[in-house]
Structure 1
Amino acid sequence: MEIIKTERLVLKKINQDDYEEMKIILQDKKLMSVGWGKTYSDEEVQAWIDKIIEQYEVFGYSYYLAVEKSTNEVVGIMGILPVTIKATEYIEVAYILKEKFWGKGYATEGIKECGDYIFNTLGADRYIAQVIPENTSSSKVAKRLGMKVIDDYMREHNGKGVFHLIYALTKEDYIKQSN
């Protein structure tokens, strides 16, 4: 089921038929080392898909499969996630792109449309992105979208704390950018 469309991408709900694609992404050592610090076992990939499907049912959104329109090739995953940080609930945008698609503007394009969806369909007043400072590419994406650092914290990854910056874009700033 297609949820969000951009000029080059279609973001559609992930389902059980996407298991092999999710394995390719979630078991890629280079991709997963950037922000996740681990790869997923086959069982963890299945549990991850089950969690995403549950989030669709509970929240109406989660990660989506990002597919290139012209080739029907899976670019990666991106989407909208509920998250609680320091006892504050946020709507977060996040993505993991296959290395082949890095540096081609897909993250900015897809996440911009996710932001449009957050403001125009979900009616939220802001959204965030969590970025480790070493991930300069994701920091650049956040800045291109007009996001600003509002906080930082230590996020637990596999039993250890990893420093994250919290970028945010308010609906007010989004509207100013659109005009």
Structure 2
Amino acid sequence: MNPDSSDNNEVLELALPPDTERLRFRLVRPDDHESVRAIYADDLAQRFLPDMRSPDGVHSFILRQLRRYEKFGYGIWLLETLENPRIVGDAGITWQETDLGDVMEIGYGLAADERGNGYATEAAKACLAFSFEVLGANRIASLVSADNTPSQKVAERVHAQRRDFTHPRLGPDFLMYYTDNQV
């Protein structure tokens, strides 16, 4: 069952994935509008996440994360470099509906000038480990548009399996990359 849609009042303790070699995960804060907008400011990002074009879309994104933190103890986090600290993107875990049932999904996005540095793969691998080791997930997935080649490349490096997928809200032409917990 997707806890994002339930009335479950049990709240997990707030936790973040540990720092990676180059990145720190940090909570999205109410005043992070400019940082979030910068991640999704270019045409490629807006093609796949059109809601992030407007200030209202960015505000809604921030509010969703704050609600997820409060209710579940996780969501999407901002990514900050350890060296010369700056926000380079976001990554985290949310629940998504699929034809295999509801699954935890790793999502990730990087500011245009930060792509190609391996940050998305590094963050997604940390989210994968966190979802299994801390959250006890049985399966973790990344749902990627068939047109989003850069995101597919990240998902291929992170996940063990791939299948075609029809997104319940967005339609066909998606790929589901997923990994099952082996414990």
Q: TM-score, normalised by structure 1?
A: 0.85
Judged with a 3 Å threshold, the aligned counterparts in structure 2 of structure 1 residues 162 and 38 are, in CA distance, closer, same or farther, namely farther
1:167 aligns with 2:180: no
CA distance in 2, matches of 1:109, 1:135: 18
Question: 2:34 corresponds to which residue?
Answer: 20
Q: Tell me the distance in 1 between the aligned counterparts of 2:51 and 2:135.
A: 32
**How many residue pairs were aligned?**
169
Structural mapping, 1:11-160, within 5 Å: 11-33=25-47, 35-86=48-99, 88-157=101-170
- Indicate the structure with greater strand content: 1
1:155: how far off? 4.9
Whether the 8 Å contact between 1:155 and 1:163 is mirrored in structure 2 is no
Could you tell me how far 1:85 is from its partner in structure 2? 2.1
Cα pair 2:52 2:58 within 8 Å, conserved: no
- Share of identical aligned residues, percent? 30
Distance 1:70 1:18, change over 3 A: same
Structure 2: which 5+ residue stretches go unaligned?
1-13
What is the CA distance between 1:150 and its match in structure 2?
3.5
Q: Deviations over 1:73-114 (max 9, x none)?
A: 111111111112237111000111011111111111111000
Cα root mean square deviation, aligned: 2.1
2:97–2:168: 8 Å Cα contact kept in structure 1?
Answer: no
Deviation at 1:25?
2.4
CA deviation profile, 1:127-166 (whole Å, cap 9, x unmatched)? 0000112212221211112431144104535xxx452111
| Superposed displacement of residue 59, structure 1 | 1.7
Secondary structure class of the residue paired with 1:156: coil
Work out the CA distance in 1 between the residues paired with 2:54 and 2:177.
30
The alpha-carbon distance between structure 1 residues 94 and 114, as it changes in their structure 2 partners (threshold 3 A), is same
Quick check: 1:10 aligned with 2:27? Answer: no
Preserved contact between residue 131 and residue 165 of structure 1 (Cα < 8 Å): yes
Residues 74, 142 of structure 1: CA spacing in aligned structure 2 closer, same or farther, 3 A cutoff?
same
